[in-house]
Amino acid sequence: MTINRHLRIVAAVWQIAYTLVHMSFTTNGGPRFLNGRESYFPGGWVPVVLGALAAVGCLSAAVTARSELSDANRYVLAGFNAVAGAALCGYSFLFPVVVVSLLFEGARPGSLASLLVTGSGIIGGILCLIIAAGERRLAAQPCAACGRAHGRSPESRLEPAPTWAFTGAYLAVAGFLARMSVWLSDTIVGRWPSAASRASGMSWTAMAVFMVLMGLAGTLLPLALAHRWGRVWPAWSGPLRGRAVPRWLVLGPGLFTGASLTAYFGIAGMTAWIRGDLGGPFPRLALEMGGYTLWGAGLLVAAASYFALTRPPCPRLDTQSTGQPVARDAPGVEPCRYRRGEPR
């Protein structure tokens, strides 16, 4: 579905508010943040500029929502919003770190301010990305009922994932195994848990839960994003057999984990390593930073395929047991002009 004008207006208002709040932080001083910083990147006018760019993109999308723009202009607008959204998410990438800190360490001074400010940046970035996706779909002249480009987009979750989705999923598993090899080595030689962790009264229950979740996010999650059993409950699931797996049960953790790892380790960690801020043997850092980055990027690649495969079915199409869509007349909906495999 295309993005309506109301969402574009809400997104523009959000970006303007984000910009004004950070302008106030810059001129009058900001709140106390967790660990003393809002972002790994420089603050000051940087978030103000990013918010202003996002506001321009969202306002432009809102103003032109009912205009007849050329496909080229729609693609430009989509690209502008995509860059602004990615920049806002990248600047606010400490949000998942704050969430994890609250869950496993409890509230600390600056936690609430960090949660609200970084969370608002993430929301603003996601709104920009949603608008970018909507503008791209308009430029592609999709089906008005479902937003697909029939013949070029998957019609059903029963269809196999593309090769690149499997590649991303198994690269994510490889990255997870590379990272865990360092943890296993530290455990064997007694470097984990560290003396600082033991002295701080680390909760072993919380640590056990964290390790289980980490293991699932590095093995089961990427495979579920690529394999059919992640979209349709398999035979061994009993009464759920053949039913659709709830979309966001898999897609939500995939996007959250993939974006968090890519931003924190792929952007911040790699930058710190290149600048010499991280010490340690090269093989260890390569396995840690490279493993986390590969894990996160692989999850995002596989999640992109999962997102397309699990779209709600087009109301203008019936899907037969073969998985091939057949055009039909739905009440109150014009017949779809396209059939799968036919030129548009």
Neighbouring CB atoms inside 10 A of 184's CB total: 12
The structure tokens listed for 318 are: 């019936």
pLDDT tens, residue by residue, 230-283: 999 998 888 999 999 999 999 999 999 998 898 888 887 888 888 888 888 899
3-state secondary structure 84-138: HHHHHHHHCCCHHHHHHHHHHHCCCCCHHHHHHHHHHHHHHHHHHHHHHHHHHHH
Per-residue model confidence (pLDDT) at position 200: 58
- Report residue 180 as tokens: 């865990």
Low-confidence ranges of the chain (pLDDT < 50): 1-2, 319-344
280-321 pLDDT per residue, tens: 889 999 999 999 999 999 999 999 999 999 988 888 765 443
pLDDT of residue 268: 79
The closest alpha carbon to 299, from 335, 265, 322, 333, belongs to 265
Burial grade of 125 (CB within 10 A; 0-12, 13-18, 19 or more)? buried
Kindly give, in sequence order, each residue whose CB lies less than 8 Å from that of residue 204, ignoring residues fewer than 6 positions away.
Answer: none
What would the two tokens of residue 135 be?
A: 């503008």
Give me 276's structure tokens.
């010499």
Which amino acid makes up residue 19? T
| pLDDT score of 195 | 61
**pLDDT number for residue 343:** 39
